Amino acid sequence: MNTHKAPNTEEFKVLLKKHDLKATRQRIAVHEAMLTIGHASADMVTEEIRKRGDAKVTVASVYNILSQLADIRIYHRRYSSNSKMYFDVNTFKHMHLYDRENNSYRDVLDEEFMDALYARLKRRKFKGYTIEDIDIQFICRPTAHKAKAITE
Ligand SMILES: [Zn+2]
């Protein structure tokens, strides 16, 4: 899929069916929470589902659903520096701005750059290895004057 959008609930149901998975209430609730949060840990998704009152879930069951969906590439995994597993609802080619103070991610889109990078990598050989994926992350911290701007 070459779009810059995560699958909506209907498209998600189709994806589940393709992988012989039932569109259970819990899986739908997980996906709808992911659509809201974007990049999230199992704790965050569980909190969001409980807030909405969509389904009865535990962190463990949410983690299992997220892992299962990542295994079949409906989500991507992200490893953050607070040693928590984060999941990304967007699986199109994109980069990330990673806020290391708040452990949050923002998508950075630059198709031209990504295409150039893939084209360049195609010409390179890494002996004994096959490149499976590219993961680019800009590590940042919030700028101090942002808080000031709000009070001015
Ligand atoms: Zn992302």
**Residue ranges of the domains in the chain?**
1-92, 93-152
Average pLDDT, the chain: 90
More confident residue, 134 or 69: 69
CATH number of 1-92: 1.10.10.10
**Residue 64 binned pLDDT confidence (cut-offs 50, 70, 90):** very high
CA of 50 to the centre of ligand 1 (A): 23
Cβ(108)–Cβ(127) below 8 Å: no
CA of 35 to the centre of ligand 1 (A): 11
CA of 110 to the centre of ligand 1 (A): 13
CA of 101 to the centre of ligand 1 (A): 17
CA of 152 to the centre of ligand 1 (A): 32
Q: What is the DSSP string of 61-95?
A: HHHHHHHHHHHTTSSEEEE-TTS-EEEES--SS-E
CATH number of 93-152: 3.30.1490
Is residue 151 predicted with pLDDT exceeding 70? no
Average pLDDT of span 56-76: 96
**Residue 152 binned pLDDT confidence (cut-offs 50, 70, 90):** very low
What tokens appear for 143 in the block? 């700028």
**Range in 61-75, 94-108, 120-134, 135-149 with the lowest mean pLDDT:** 135-149
Residues flanking ion ligand 1, Cβ below 5 Å = 88, 90, 107
**Considering the chain, what percentage of its residues have pLDDT values greater than 90?**
72
pTM for the model = 0.83
